[in-house]
Chain A
């Protein structure tokens, strides 16, 4: 029986026992949309931290990108402050401490709202890897989780930008003769050569922009995820225009943020998955994560999906979801 004020059961379960809960967490000026999808009988929850920063997790829920996990688990998607279609006064408190605190409060809400959540895993993608690492590193936050799943996580930004630059240089050099718009790629290569270090936001955007161009070519046609039709996207109930319009407020974090110093404090089981064809957060960050996490060696795993790009779950989907499920089954 559900209480009137705080429901301890799902608001919306369809006929096949799948959850479809949607609500907001209001905290320090931001209204954060939270969508819960998956198995209504599940005792294992996965809280997903999206990347960007200022990207969206709700989009993943709308598109059903993580549906292979819904049979066994409940997934919690939420848009961080200033991101996706979070509301409220989004241009305040845009800093790492607040982002971490938002996750803490979200966790408390999930634990209170879903008392059946006996095992909780944290999953962070890209910038979400940085945020998740910062969160787990703080106080005793990690004690709430059975495991940490980092997907192409950028927990060390200075290392990441250099690795990304190297990846792009190598790719362009090796493939320049086959690339269209040769002049443009020559220019990209020269730009990369002339940016030996990333010391400011403009240089970061340059490196990152070229990495996305490389990804567009390298990953073209390799996604095995059936994207929704244009009509579905056009009628999608989510999204705000001009995602990432707060990047300027987190410049220092993006350029210099490095979670390595505190990662030895993280001791929970950890699965790190990186894509071999990801120029945006290359595999170098995976080994870095394994090296710096304090998790015992037998409980931390690095998986490289050789043919996958940045959105790992879109490429070698069977292998990706097998790895995630195997990890969770070991520790839930």
Chain B
């Protein structure tokens, strides 16, 4: 018998909307902020565990006066797996037909570091674009997957800034 642990990198694209934006401390125009957000992400790991995730996420950010932000984050939610490639299933007659791409539903956790840039939209909303490096862990009864590294591009839409 052999056992080994393999982890693999993935890429994610996400959209989040902070529902809580709590300023922990502020000095001049630099802020230390805690954000709580629902996040929808599309996670891609070639040949394995690509999926759509819905998570709640807590992010601790240092927001500089130049609107360049540094963060650590953690989140929990679900990942609906999508199988990459053709899926063949045998029907009652013994012939093979192509089946759907639905994969497992996983509980998913993630955590990591990130850097982002905030800009003010024309409508007065604060938008942030994050580049993240983190780890994702997903589990379903009978299956566990771990990503040692995930790269993310997050589009964050905040409430209208006065």
Q: With A87-B103, A208-B1, A238-B47 given, is the CB distance from A23 to B87 under 8 Å?
A: yes
Report the separation of the CA atoms of residues A25 and B99 in the bound assembly, to the nearest whole angstrom: 9
Q: How far is the CA of A25 from the CA of B1 in the complex (A)?
A: 24
Q: A85 near B48 (CB under 8 angstroms)?
A: yes
Stretch at the interface among A68-76, A242-250, A265-273: A242-250
Which of B1, B8, B48, B96 contacts A112, CB < 8 Å?
Answer: B96
Q: CB-CB < 8 A to A241: which residues of B? A: 5-7, 137, 144-146
B142, A237: Cβ atoms under 8 Å?
no
Complex interface residues of chain B between 91 and 145 (CB less than 8 A to chain A): 94-99, 103-104, 137, 141-145
Of A87, A89, A243, which contacts B5 at CB under 8 A? A243
CA distance A11 to B7 in the complex (A): 28
User: What total of chain A residues lie within 8 Å of the partner, measured CB to CB?
Assistant: 51
- Choose among B6, B81, B86 the residue that contacts A236 (Cβ–Cβ < 8 A): B6
Q: Specify which of B7, B81, B90, B96 is in contact with A239 (CB 8 Å cutoff).
A: B7
Q: Which of B2, B87, B90 contacts A105 (CB 8 A)?
A: B90
Instruction: Flag if B96 contacts A109 (CB, 8 Å).
Output: yes
Q: Is there an interface contact between B85 and A24, defined as CB atoms closer than 8 Å?
A: yes
Instruction: Find out whether the CB atom of A237 lies under 8 angstroms from the CB atom of B6.
Output: no
Please, how many angstroms separate the alpha-carbon atoms of A275 and B29 in the complex?
69
Asked if A51 is at the interface of the complex by the 8 Å CB criterion, the answer is yes
Contacts of B8 in A (CB 8 A): 234-239
Q: Find chain A residues with CB under 8 A from B94 CB.
A: 108
B30 at the interface (CB under 8 A from A): no
Closest chain A residue to B141 by CB distance?
Answer: A91
A26 adjacent to chain B (CB < 8 Å): yes
Taking a contact as CB atoms under 8 Å apart, the answer to whether A239 and B142 are in contact is no
B7 and A109 contact, CB distance less than 8 A: no
Closest chain A residue to B94, Cβ basis: A108
Contact partners of B5 in chain A: CB under 8 A: 241-243
Query: CB within 8 A of A31: which of B45, B96, B103, B141?
Result: B103
- Residues of chain B with a CB closer than 8 A to A280's CB: 1
CA distance A246 to B95 in the complex (A): 30
Q: Do B1 and A90 touch (CB < 8 A)?
A: no
B65 on interface, CB distance cutoff 8 Å: no
B77 is an interface residue with CB less than 8 A from chain A: no
Q: A5 to B99, alpha carbons, bound, how many Å?
A: 11
Interface check A53, CB cutoff 8 A: yes
**Interfacial chain A residues near B21, Cβ < 8 Å:** none
Whether B9 and A240, one on each chain, are in contact in the complex, defined by CB atoms closer than 8 angstroms, is no
Is A22's CB within 8 Å of the partner chain B? yes
Asked whether any CB of chain A lies closer than 8 Å to the CB of B160, the reply is: no
Contacts of A236 in B (CB 8 A): 6, 8
Q: Which 4 A-B pairs have the closest CB atoms?
A: A239-B6, A91-B142, A90-B142, A241-B146
Interface residues of B (CB under 8 A from A): 1-9, 45-49, 81, 83, 85-90, 94-99, 103-104, 137, 141-146, 148-149
Q: List 13 A-B contacts (CB under 8 A).
A: A24-B83, A85-B48, A88-B143, A89-B142, A108-B90, A108-B94, A109-B90, A234-B9, A234-B149, A237-B47, A243-B4, A254-B1, A280-B1
